[in-house]
Amino acid sequence: MATVLSVSGSPSATSRTTRLLRHVDARLAELGHHVVPFEVRSLPAHALLSADLSHPEIAAALELFAEADGVVIGTPVYKAAYSGLLKTLLDVLPQYALRDKAVLPLATGGSTAHVLAVDYALRPVLSSMGAGHITQGWFVLDRHITVREDGTTAIEPETELLLGPVVDAFADALDRRAAPAPALASS
C-alpha cells in the first residue's frame, strides 16, 4: 500500500478540480492505497507567499510531500497554465520534492483549448522537481463534473470511462515502485 498525497491547486471553495481529485482519491483507496487529501488554499496566504518555511502549516505541508510515495496534482487551467496558487506551493517546495515519487497530473478547464496545459505547462515543472515517474496526465472539461442533488460528484460517463485507465496506470506505477527489487542470482 502506497501513501498518495492528493493536492488540489484550486483557489475555489466549490472547485470542480477538487471534486475530480476526491473522485480519483476514492478509486485509489479502492485499489488499496492510503490517500491524503490536501488543498493548497487551506494554507495561510501570508506564510505561503512569503515562503515562510518555519510556519507550522507550511512545514506540515512539506512533510506531507516528503512522506508520500505518490502525488496526484490537480489544477484548474487559467490562461493556458496551471493555477498561480499551485505555482506558489511548487515554488516553496524543495527543488527535488518529487524525487522517487510517481506523479499523476490532472487539470480541469472550460474549453478543450486548454488541454495541452498538462503536458506543456505542468509536466515540465514536475519533471524539474525530480518526479520519478510522471504518468499520463488527464484534462477534464468543467461541464463533465457535476454535483448531484445529494452533494456527491458525478463524472460524465465517457469521461469516467477514459479517466479510469489513467488512474489505474498511476496505481500500477505506485505498485511497481513499492515492489521489492528482484534478488540477483549468485554465481
Q: Give domain status of residue 123, yes or no.
A: yes
Q: What percent of the chain has pLDDT over 90?
A: 87
Give the mean pLDDT of 78-103. 96
Band of pLDDT at residue 178, cut at 50, 70 and 90: confident
What residue numbers bound the domain in which 151 lies?
A: 3-178
Alpha helices in 31-83 (DSSP H): 45-49, 56-67
Q: Give domain status of residue 62, yes or no.
A: yes
Q: Give domain status of residue 105, yes or no.
A: yes
Residue 181 has pLDDT above 70, yes or no: no
Band of pLDDT at residue 183, cut at 50, 70 and 90: low
**Can you give the pLDDT at residue 184?**
62
CB 138 within 8 A of CB 161: no
Q: Give domain status of residue 184, yes or no.
A: no
Angstrom distance (rounded) from CA 54 to CA 123? 28
**CB burial of residue 124 (10 Å; 0-12, 13-18, 19+):** exposed
**Can you give the pLDDT at residue 156?**
96
CA distances in angstroms from 29 to 24, 45, 56, 168, listed in the order given: 9, 30, 28, 11
Residue 101 has pLDDT above 80, yes or no: yes
**Can you give the pLDDT at residue 93?**
97
Strands 81-82 and 70-78: antiparallel
Band of pLDDT at residue 180, cut at 50, 70 and 90: low
**Can you give the pLDDT at residue 67?**
97
**Can you give the pLDDT at residue 121?**
93
Q: Give domain status of residue 187, yes or no.
A: no
**Can you give the pLDDT at residue 177?**
80
Q: What percent of the chain has pLDDT over 70?
A: 95
Q: Which residues pair with 38 in a beta bridge?
A: 7
Q: Give domain status of residue 186, yes or no.
A: no
Strands 102-109 and 133-134: parallel
Q: Give domain status of residue 185, yes or no.
A: no
Total number of residues shown for the chain? 187
Q: Give domain status of residue 28, yes or no.
A: yes
Question: Does residue 132 or residue 126 have the better pLDDT?
Answer: 126
Give the mean pLDDT of 127-134. 94
Residue (of 173, 1, 9) closest to 93 by Cα position: 9
CATH of residue 167's domain is 3.40.50.360
Q: How many structural domains are present in the chain?
A: 1
Distance of CA 1 to the CA centre of its chain: 18
Residue 187 has pLDDT above 60, yes or no: no
Band of pLDDT at residue 182, cut at 50, 70 and 90: low
